[in-house]
Amino acid sequence: MSKSNFTRRGVLKTGAVAGAGLTLPTYLRAQDSGFTNAPTGDTVTLGFNVPQSGPYADEGADELRAYELAVEHLNGEGDGGMLNTFSSQALDGTGIMGKKVEYVTGDTQTKSDAARASARSMIEKDGAVMITGGSSSGVAVAVQALCQEAGIIFMAGLTHSNDTTGKDRKANGFRHFFNSYMSGAALAPVLASEYGTDRKAYHLTADYNWGYTTEEAVRSSTEAMGWETVNAVKTPLTQTDFSSYISPVLNSGADVLVLNHYGGNMVNSLTNAVQFGLREAEANGKNFEIVVPLYSRLMASGAGANVKGIYGSTNWHWSLQDEGSQAFVRSFGEKYGFPPSQAAHTCYVQTLLYADAVTRAGSFAPCAVGEALEGFEFDGLGNGPTLYRAEDHQCFKDVLVVRGKENPQSEFDLLEVVEVTPVDQVTYAPDHPQMGGADATLGTCNNGA
Amino acid sequence: MLGLKKTDTTLFLVVMGLTLLAPFILNPFPVESGMAQFNAGYPDLMQRFVIFGIFAIGFNILFGLTGYLSFGHAAFLGVGSYAAIWSLKLFALDVVPAIVFAILVAGAFAMLVGFISLRRSGIYFSILTLAFAQMSYALAYSVLTPLTGGETGLQIKNTDSPLLSNVPEGEIGRASFLGLDMGASQELVLGGWAFTFNLGYYIAAVAMLIAFYLSIRIFRSPFGMMLRAVKSNQQRMNYTGLSPKPYTLAAFVISGMYAGLAGGLMVAMDTQVGPERMFWTASGEVVIMTVLGGAGTLLGPVLGAGFIKYFENIISKINKDILHQWFAVLPDGFEDVMVSLVYPFVGKGWHLTLGIMFMLVIIFLPGGLLQGGQKILGLFRRKPQPSAAAEADGTKPAE
């Protein structure tokens, strides 16, 4: 088909088609609301982006349960849960600003690429006005950056790395969950009073971003108490057998082992450590101890009896006796038959906080919602009085130091709260070196188009 | 046209038509209808279709022609992505230099990996490439964190100021093409239908058309013939006095550059890179795409890529609520039964559905989806001569 023949008719035809094509844009719809995905009609769509497959699928499933519960409560179904105990009474169970809440779900697969693809499809196809969820800091940071770019609010789910509201903080992103720094700051005093101030610590750290920030946080707060760090060894994330990492610990001169591991990693490394007899061992004339900075009930049930007596920190625990926690545990338990995890709690709370901020701002526009959340002080959501700090969009609240229970009453009753570390003790300056220093800024909020 | 034979020209024009009209073809259902769930015509997925199409076309040049099964192709995609994001961060926010840089770096890396891996063939070659890819993944995940951002990956930050672009203080730079934002979209509303035309998609689409054209030329060239010779009998080739090494290495590098192009485009569309892009499952995915569509065929890999990405993005988003809506017309008990029957296959069960489809295709259509298409066409043809037609089209499936 190398023959080309320009006929007069052909040229005219092409010209007409091209002309029609050029006039097309005048029929195209413009976003006249001033921000991306402004809800039209009587519904509003939220995007729940959680890991449904991969290593954190358990957390993801629990998060999704919490979101469904939150949507029910926002729409005025069920018993209302924490809506009744929330200090801000702007929400009345008629959806958000009178619009019924609908939702779409996606699978992050705990991969930033897949998470972003799923979030983009929620934004571009389903018209979601807010994205929330996730169970890994890598995913949270990636999706947060995407939402910033697209002009959507991101309410982080379970993400514990300092970076999410530290060096990677974004104006459109908000985190209710606590972080590595807070874990370290809350744990150190308890450890010092339990184990003394002249301990020598050995760190095993999951070899990725969250592991680094957690190790750094625990190290600097324990060293400030007088501890010494003997060694810090990085372990591959995909490692399942930690015996080769545990065996050198006993001869290293250390008397405390800190496991900066999460999920399956922590279950395996802790089990290995206990099998190696570290709990019974003595070093430097003291009992050998193990510490797990970030605890969750799902992990504790994986590690079984090995968690007994081991200290760690957690964002929230279902056994808390305040009104908000009890209301949440009650409605969650009635619907699903077991108590919620801390991942479920933070996701539920984030959804309510978003809905409340929209209602108080009177608009779904991200900048207005952001303004309503910044510096917002609230109570009744399970963690006591809490502040959404304006400088980095991090929630500041009391942190729980927990210990594996010696005599669990049920399969869910695995952790006991040892101490509630007051918020002042875990507060840091927004330009703290662990949080990216002075370079870290939120940037400007983005309403999209 | 353009030095192509008539059948190839037709194929190319069909692909061109499909790609350019994709926003219409992929959005067959009105926005408000229940079937809108199955619409795939939104920018992100359309971009993924063509980008993974490019990736699979490139992989097919190596696997389909020479028969060398590389199990580490995602490494080139990842290396290309990292190269592109650094170009956007440091050099210019324009995507063209980023993509060119991605292709070059991936090509150079492929040269290195190919030089070592191609000393062996068969399963040993596959294992070597797999080892390289896993090594790259591990390096990117932790050891090279300053260069790759580790688990969190790399994004454009508000502290980045590329050499050639002016970004206002505190603003986050966006990837652009000649000053136009890659995310720029126009929406066309016709009755109940909405069609989105996205600049990024069209840039990726043009890149895919070029890549597809080059692949046709390679398939039809004497060089392509040599690659086929490597596949059919390498020993005989050796005895005739021809060394297969330069040919296989060239094919490997070309295919690595295709992967680099795909990686560069991924960054151009969505300015973020994470190491899991190089994980071995990502390498496996492109093998599955190619085999599913039809290895050794021109169009097959693109079809396979589209098929898998559709499942990953559309089927995985069907949740229980949507199922209940679908079966709402049925009586209550029956509705629950239907939902619990279907639910394991959608939502998080999309892997299961995809696996079943893959098995069915491999068992009944060893030539991939393309063979299925040919069989269906064969039913309507007056004189069914499938073997002769396939020979002439050059669409003979790989064995």
DSSP three-state, residue B16: helix
Quote the CA–CA distance of A332 and A353 in Å, as a whole number.
Answer: 18
DSSP three-state, residue B362: helix
What does the pLDDT average to over A376-380? 93
In which domain, by residue range, is A201 found?
181-314
* Residue at which a domain ends, from A314, A343, A368: A314
Burial A250-263 (b: 16+ CB within 10 A, else e): beeebbbbbbbbbb
Residue A373 placed within a domain:
yes
Residue A58 placed within a domain:
yes
Kindly report the nearest CA distance between residue B392 and chain A, in angstroms. Answer: 17
pLDDT in tens, B36-85: 888 888 889 999 999 999 999 999 999 999 999 999 999 999 999 999 99
Q: Cβ of B168: how many Cβ atoms within 10 Å?
A: 10
Quote the CA–CA distance of A85 and A386 in Å, as a whole number.
Answer: 14
Looking at residue B390, what is its pLDDT? 47
Residue A12 pLDDT level (bands cut at 50, 70, 90): low
What does the pLDDT average to over A309-338? 93
pLDDT in tens, A35-60: 888 888 899 999 999 998 877 888 89
What is the end-to-end Cα distance of chain A in Å, rounded? 45
pLDDT in tens, A169-205: 999 999 999 999 999 999 999 999 999 999 999 999 9
Secondary structure E strands in chain B = 154-155, 176-177, 180-181, 185-190, 193-198, 272-273
Task: Count interface pairs A-B at CB distance under 8 A.
Answer: 131
Smallest Cβ–Cβ distance between A209 and the set B43, B150, B276 belongs to B150
* Residue at which a domain ends, from A372, A391, A410: A391
Q: Is residue A172 domain-shared with residue A222, that is, in the same domain?
A: no
pLDDT in tens, A237-270: 778 899 999 989 988 889 999 999 988 888 899 9
Residue A431 placed within a domain:
no
Residue A69 pLDDT level (bands cut at 50, 70, 90): very high
Q: Is residue A293 domain-shared with residue A191, that is, in the same domain?
A: yes
Smallest Cβ–Cβ distance between A145 and the set B1, B194, B272 belongs to B272
Looking at residue B332, what is its pLDDT? 81
Q: Is residue A135 domain-shared with residue A211, that is, in the same domain?
A: no
Contacts of A116 (CB under 8 A, 6+ apart): A142, A143, A146, B270, B272
Kindly report the nearest CA distance between residue A141 and chain B, in angstroms. Answer: 7
Q: Is residue A174 domain-shared with residue A190, that is, in the same domain?
A: no
Kindly report the nearest CA distance between residue A246 and chain B, in angstroms. Answer: 21
Q: Is residue A69 domain-shared with residue A91, that is, in the same domain?
A: yes
Quote the CA–CA distance of B50 and B56 in Å, as a whole number.
Answer: 10
Q: Is residue A140 domain-shared with residue A196, that is, in the same domain?
A: no
In this structure, the dihedral spanned by the alpha carbons of residues A109, B316, B56 and B98, taken in order and rounded to 10 degrees, is -60
Neighboring chain A residues of B194 at a CB cutoff of 8 Å: 29
Q: Is residue A207 domain-shared with residue A167, that is, in the same domain?
A: no
DSSP three-state, residue A112: helix
pLDDT score of A27 more than 50: no
User: In Å, what is the CA distance from A126 to each residue of A112, A119, A145, B187?
Assistant: 20, 10, 19, 15
Residue A297 placed within a domain:
yes
Q: Is residue A290 domain-shared with residue A141, that is, in the same domain?
A: no
Q: Is residue A355 domain-shared with residue A386, that is, in the same domain?
A: yes
Quote the CA–CA distance of B221 and B219 in Å, as a whole number.
Answer: 6
Where residue A254 sits, what CATH number does that domain have?
3.40.50.2300
- Residue recorded with tokens 């790259």: B136
DSSP three-state, residue A369: helix
Q: Is residue A323 domain-shared with residue A174, that is, in the same domain?
A: yes
Residue B1 pLDDT level (bands cut at 50, 70, 90): low
Q: Is residue A101 domain-shared with residue A210, that is, in the same domain?
A: no
Quote the CA–CA distance of B141 and B279 in Å, as a whole number.
Answer: 10
What does the pLDDT average to over B223-244? 91
Residue A426 placed within a domain:
no
Classify domain B6-278 at the CATH class level.
mainly alpha
Predicted structure pTM score: 0.86
Residue A271 placed within a domain:
yes
Looking at residue B136, what is its pLDDT? 94
pLDDT in tens, B127-181: 999 999 999 999 998 888 888 888 778 888 877 788 877 777 767 788 888 888 8
Number of structural domains chain A divides into: 2
User: In Å, what is the CA distance from A246 to each residue of A61, A269, B76, B328?
Assistant: 32, 8, 36, 56
Smallest Cβ–Cβ distance between A124 and the set B9, B42, B171 belongs to B42
The two three-digit tokens of residue A325, written as one number: 């926690």
* Residue at which a domain ends, from A289, A314, A339: A314
List the 73-132 stretch of A: residues with Cβ below 8 A of B.
103-107, 111-114, 116-118, 120-121, 124-125
The two three-digit tokens of residue B127, written as one number: 């294992």
Residue A249 placed within a domain:
yes
How would you classify the pairing of strands A200-206 and A173-175?
A: unpaired
Q: Where along chain B do its domains lie?
A: 6-278
Looking at residue A135, what is its pLDDT? 83
Looking at residue B150, what is its pLDDT? 81
Q: Is residue A159 domain-shared with residue A275, that is, in the same domain?
A: no
The two three-digit tokens of residue A447, written as one number: 């309403």
Quote the CA–CA distance of B304 and B310 in Å, as a whole number.
Answer: 10
Quote the CA–CA distance of B83 and B77 in Å, as a whole number.
Answer: 10
